[in-house]
Amino acid sequence: AQKITQTQPGMFVQEKEAVTLDCTYDTSDPSYGLFWYKQPSSGEMIFLIYQGSYDQQNATEGRYSLNFQKARKSANLVISASQLGDSAMYFCAMREGRGADGLTFGKGTHLIIQP
Amino acid sequence: DAGITQSPRHKVTETGTPVTLRCHQTENHRYMYWYRQDPGHGLRLIHYSYGVKDTDKGEVSDGYSVSRSKTEDFLLTLESATSSQTSVYFCAISEFQGFDGYTFGSGTRLTVV
């Protein structure tokens, strides 16, 4: 079974609209962390937001927020007021335990913002 | 000043030749990772290191070896490159304090012809 599932291979969204990118995860470890990264066409991996399994509140970073529903094992990324520069690949990733053995990534969602 | 650099950024090599990719960090982080990125697969872990001379295998380690003789350097070697190893390779570093973040290098695009 996949540990990280991103069900939207691609999305088209109008500029200024809000966007929700889906991510579900699977782990039996009570301690874990969920990450979202953005990868523009230039190729670098840009960290966006982090949610720990014990965090009581949903994480927010500027226009990014993480809709964390622990019981449903989902960690959706919400981008408010989308901009043309938000066009990129977006990856959801998880570390389990202390994460010494790194992150497990989903396959990504290609988001295109249309003017 | 980038805390993590990868070299080379691009490389074309022939099937059967050995190739070494280098990851260098200036953050003194304990943990270092090598991932490969292929279309439709996201990033997959090849090998990782939790200290000097301490390494372990990841999900897709076949055909790869690593070495870490200094804290700052983590080398990925393809002993005999194959076309299936054409990919973009990312190095990442991490130190587990509070946030547990991971910082990625800019990637190395490797083409095996």
pLDDT in tens, A57-112: 999 999 999 999 999 999 999 999 999 999 999 999 999 887 777 899 999 999 99
Residue with tokens 């002993």: B79
pLDDT at B95: 82
B85 phi and psi angles, rounded to 5 deg: -95, 5
Amino acid code (one letter) for A55: D
- A1 band by pLDDT with thresholds 50, 70 and 90: low
pLDDT at A21: 98
Q: Which ranges of chain B have pLDDT less than 50?
A: 97-98
Q: Which residues of A touch B103 (CB under 8 A)?
A: 47
Q: What mean pLDDT comes out for the span A12-41?
A: 96
The partner residues of A69 in beta bridges, in order of sequence, read A74
pLDDT at B97: 47
Residues in chain A whose Cβ is within 8 Å of chain B: 4, 33, 35, 37, 43-45, 47, 50, 52, 91, 93, 95, 98-108
Cα gap B49→A108, rounded to integer Å: 25
- In Å, how far are A16, A17, A87 from A83, measured between CA atoms? 6, 8, 8
Q: Which residues of B touch A106 (CB under 8 A)?
A: 42
pLDDT at B2: 63
The partner residues of A113 in beta bridges, in order of sequence, read A13
The more confidently predicted of residues A1 and A21 is A21
